[in-house]
Amino acid sequence: MSTIWFGIAAVMAALYVVFDGFDFGAGVLHLIVAREDRERRQVLNAIGPFWDGNEVWLLALGGVLFLAFPRVLGSALSGFYLAIFLVIWVLILRGISIEFRSHVEDRMWRAFWDGVFALASTLAPILFGAALGNVIRGVPLDADGYFRLPLWTNFRVGPTPGVLDWYTVIAGVMALVAVAHHGALFLAWKTEGVVRDRSRRAAAVLAGPLALVWIVATLATASITPGLYANLAARPLAWIATLLAVAGYAVALGARTRGRDLAAFLGSAGFIVGLLAATAVCVFPTMLRSSTDAALSLTSDNAASSGHALRTGLIWWPVALVFVVAYFSLLFHLHRGRVVTPREGEGY
């Protein structure tokens, strides 16, 4: 039963990155692909119907951990206390910058909130990527299952690292480039005119660095957790997920060059899902790895709730999932097609 819930948590995390990733990416590129007010409002209108709903998947992940793995959630919340508050502030700033920018019809006001939106959207994937890097690298768990981490120490990987070191920074950069590429393909699919053209060029520029940082992150992971790739070789599901990532990248690259914007975006989604799925399969059953003693790691077995709680949750979780899938299906159906440049007083 705990294995099923580990898989559910991994699915929630992957869906969050795919869905919120495209509006993070749109924010990263906001000042690049849109250079005047009407163009920037076109970008905001493209993600406007989706961005707040996309964060449902993050709440769903938190709910799954609260129900199925409360020890993991409690340990992470206490150990990453400062980092989590940074993430919360970044998400708050993104939200208010989208909502506030057009409340005052003033050039400086809008430019300020555009800058806040771009900065917050850039920091968010870096922080989330660094968080995943911490999970892979390990944290100094004690016998009670808790740990404390400063934001950084000497940037070296060791038994007592900080949240940020050379490895987690690489993971953060990987996340940033991946979501920027993902967001560029989303904007190419949903916008028109010069914004679409610049978004397609941005995706073309980012494709090479994405492949490069992927290779660098893979080699860095192999150097600090060699056991991870032993699991990759031994677990067929990890190979399938890796092939999905490679195929997704290839589809995104090929479809973009042929002008098939939706296919390119879906290829990018496949790349992200495959990458995260391969990571989840390789780290299983570990959910929070101890950098001091492997026996202290929190796993899906020793950190799971009671069997009764897991069985009861498994009755209600599919019901909630049906409603969420129906909501997102309706949302994308209602807002299908490209976003036109809005007139003043319309949209964001």
Q: What is the four-CA torsion angle of 60, 114, 126, 299, rounded to 10 degrees?
A: -10
Reply yes or no on whether the pLDDT at 78 is more than 90.
no
What residues contact 38, with CB distance under 8 A and at least 6 apart?
341, 342
Collapsing DSSP to helix, strand or coil, 155 comes out as coil
Tally the C-alpha atoms within 13 A of residue 327's C-alpha that lie toward its C-beta.
13
In a domain, 5, yes or no: no
pLDDT value at residue 346? 61
Whole-angstrom distance, CA of residue 178 vs CA of residue 259 = 20
In a domain, 272, yes or no: no
In a domain, 65, yes or no: yes
Whole-angstrom distance, CA of residue 24 vs CA of residue 46 = 12
Residue 122 is given by DSSP the state H
In the predicted model, what is the mean pLDDT of residues 40-49?
A: 92
Residue 286: phi, psi to the nearest 5?
Answer: -70, 130
Whole-angstrom distance, CA of residue 164 vs CA of residue 172 = 9
CA dihedral over 82, 85, 91, 97, signed as positive or negative: negative
SS (H, E, C) 199-253: HHHHHHHHHHHHHHHHHHHHHHHHHHCHHHHHHHHHCHHHHHHHHHHHHHHHHHH
In a domain, 37, yes or no: yes
Q: Structurally, how many domains does the chain consist of? A: 1
Closest by CA position to 180, among listed 216, 210, 213: 210
Tens digits of residue pLDDT in 59-72:
999 999 999 999 99
pLDDT value at residue 178? 98
Reply yes or no on whether the pLDDT at 100 is more than 70.
yes
* pLDDT confidence band for 103 (50 / 70 / 90): confident
Closest by CA position to 185, among listed 22, 5, 12, 15: 22
Angle at which helix 70-79 crosses helix 56-68, to 10 degrees, equals 120
* pLDDT confidence band for 209 (50 / 70 / 90): very high
In a domain, 269, yes or no: no
What is the residue range of 190's domain? 19-217+286-334
In a domain, 311, yes or no: yes
Tens digits of residue pLDDT in 311-332:
999 998 999 899 999 999 999 9
In the predicted model, what is the mean pLDDT of residues 234-249?
A: 95
In a domain, 345, yes or no: no
pLDDT value at residue 308? 92
Reply yes or no on whether the pLDDT at 110 is more than 70.
yes
Whole-angstrom distance, CA of residue 138 vs CA of residue 134 = 6
Whole-angstrom distance, CA of residue 40 vs CA of residue 44 = 6
In a domain, 149, yes or no: yes
pLDDT value at residue 158? 73
Q: What is the pTM of this model?
A: 0.94
